[in-house]
Structure 1
């Protein structure tokens, strides 16, 4: 079963690289199409908003099909989308090519995460899910920095071709090595929707939304921040993203361990630690050497955020794993959209460094929600 988890992680690696690789090349795309940085943020936010709107519906529609074949279809579409992106001659064409695979994205995430959680005893599920989330972390370690590095070596189109190759490799690994995953017995849609009546699910969704929005309000523009504030060139930015991702592997691993012991304490520690990291970013952002250390710490804390958010949400409705994971996928991408939109507004109307405080405010709000959850009826 552990082999299955690692294969699922390779698929997550492919689609996560596609979704987030644009973070490192927004300045080059803005220059190529003569548009503002906040407009290039649409390449990330539009992808996310489609997932946010359609995730639960797509999973309900696909739940009766063979799960392995569904995941292979998703990776095939992602490969084609990246090829189209690499040959885009206008920003609108690039935006459309980016939006194409977003409709299928939640199917892969929901199946992969629910398969991981259901493959082990309940108390071990956070650790199993953390392995699959490791694909997301490795995308941060290798995918996003490599896409940025390809841009610095060649051009921005090369980064999308790289993403196409990564998804093709993931497709091949899954086709050859993943065991069959027939469709599970389909629950009545009414039975699945009953989880939406749980107050604890909604409070956990609000908590996850605020946490992830806080993460991406600044992280969505990390390349811009390092270029404008820290005064780094493309190669230096690529190396910083590599540091960010490598430390994130450790953060993701330890988060899985701590979540197995206490979800609430791990969540609270994450919120406090990430808030402090952002404050450090504000005061040390213009200093080259300190930013190397701060970026490493930032990656270690930041990367655990999706896993922590997922465990909070799915623990509230374990009786409908794929449906609740699709809801989480919707929530997470809505949060990415919210975070990048807020960050883009800060950049457009204030100095780039002010974006830091948008993240801090969102994280403080998430801490307030967590406290409310613990000391009201929502904790049960």
Structure 2
């Protein structure tokens, strides 16, 4: 979208988008740390309270490829206000209700706009940056994703445990409300001047490059989050770390995500082909080291640090992989990225869980290794299927 006052990658618009993504991811993930308190507050079991997480994730997975497509022609500022406003309202309802069914509805409804806002944030951030800076701008938005996952759980857990469930919900409300106000006053109107037809956007599904990207992202994200789902168990039962040490290592992993985001923005701008191809191989190396050396805490601390960096680096790289396979439909492509990431997370957790069931916690990493081995094939096919001019352009950029 053409604008007279283009914003730099670190500009105010990208900052507001990053804060908005943080608020939305924080709302999604933050309740994980207060499930026992939700169970106590609403007089349900902890597994039942877990539906506050599951229903949100399920709605996101179902709506990811559809909702960004439907909103692709709507003024970007209006989309931002609608999404963040709905999240704010739903958090107010979650804060005030004493009915568990109402709570679940309040969690499910805004989740439909989660992929709309996040995919739009990636698209707008890239469009607002100058040529060659798109990856850096998107990487800054990914910092909001990482921060939401890193800070959402511990901050909400602390606030709720020190005060009350209501105050925990108030934290969600305040973050989204601040972004809503900032959007009103500091974000200009951003109409979509040339709306793409649904047929044009869906046409990217005819490209082999798109499907190779979707499969590669599903597998790589499955490898990342498959093992991450059981990392606490691995650190406790295999490494023998105490609860406090595990908490510290998980925080290190999360903070390292942010470092990975910043590295990816620079590396993708220099040589995207090498970044895409090196990701699964590097992950393979560290997962093998983890399986062999997982019993030694000092070594595991280093491995967790690097896995955290690779997780942040990988999210940026995977988003690039899909959106640059379908540049003619950026909103729909970002929706496909969110769909692939969520499917991968689910499939990876199931695969690693099966290895735990039959062989023990140490072997959970085999699920990730299996996913990565197959992903290498689809990454290679995706690069090969790219248009020759895109390959030449990517490989010609000086390192």
Verify same fold: TM over 0.5. Answer: yes
Structure 1 residue aligned with 2:25: 16
Structure 1 residue aligned with 2:120: 111
1:54 pairs with 63, 69, 85, which one? 63
TM-score (norm 1): 0.84
1:174 pairs with 180, 183, 191, which one? 183
Segments of 5+ residues of structure 1 without an aligned counterpart are none
The answer to whether 1:328 aligns with 2:337 is yes
The answer to whether 1:310 aligns with 2:315 is no
Q: 1:49, 1:334 within 8 Å by CA — same for their partners in 2?
A: no
**Partner deviation per Cα, 1:9-36 (whole Å, 9 max, x = no partner):** 1111111222333555678879995556
The answer to whether 1:101 aligns with 2:95 is no
The answer to whether 1:279 aligns with 2:288 is yes
| Bigger-Rg structure (1/2) | 2
Q: How many residue pairs get matched? A: 376
Greater shift in the superposed pair: 163-172 or 5-14? 163-172
1:129 pairs with 125, 130, 138, which one? 138
Greater shift in the superposed pair: 160-169 or 359-368? 160-169
The answer to whether 1:71 aligns with 2:80 is yes
2:16 pairs with 7, 10, 16, which one? 7
The answer to whether 1:232 aligns with 2:242 is yes
The answer to whether 1:139 aligns with 2:185 is no
SS in 2 for 1:123: coil
**Partner deviation per Cα, 1:133-179 (whole Å, 9 max, x = no partner):** 12112224433442354466567776554333332333233233222
| Counterpart-to-counterpart distance in 2, 1:27 and 1:355 | 26
1:215 pairs with 215, 221, 224, which one? 224
Q: CA RMSD in A?
A: 3.3
Structure 1 residue aligned with 2:303: 294
How many angstroms does 1:243 deviate by?
Answer: 1.6
Mark the CA change 1:272 to 1:19 in structure 2 (over 3 Å): closer, same or farther. farther
How many angstroms does 1:220 deviate by?
Answer: 3.1
How many angstroms does 1:97 deviate by?
Answer: 4.2
Greater shift in the superposed pair: 294-303 or 78-87? 78-87
SS in 2 for 1:56: coil
TM-score (norm 2): 0.80
**Partner deviation per Cα, 1:180-237 (whole Å, 9 max, x = no partner):** 222343222222222221111111111111111111112234445455554433x554
| Counterpart-to-counterpart distance in 1, 2:67 and 2:197 | 15
Greater shift in the superposed pair: 108-117 or 336-345? 336-345
| Counterpart-to-counterpart distance in 2, 1:81 and 1:283 | 46
Segments of 5+ residues of structure 2 without an aligned counterpart are 1-6, 389-399
Q: 1:145, 1:241 within 8 Å by CA — same for their partners in 2?
A: no
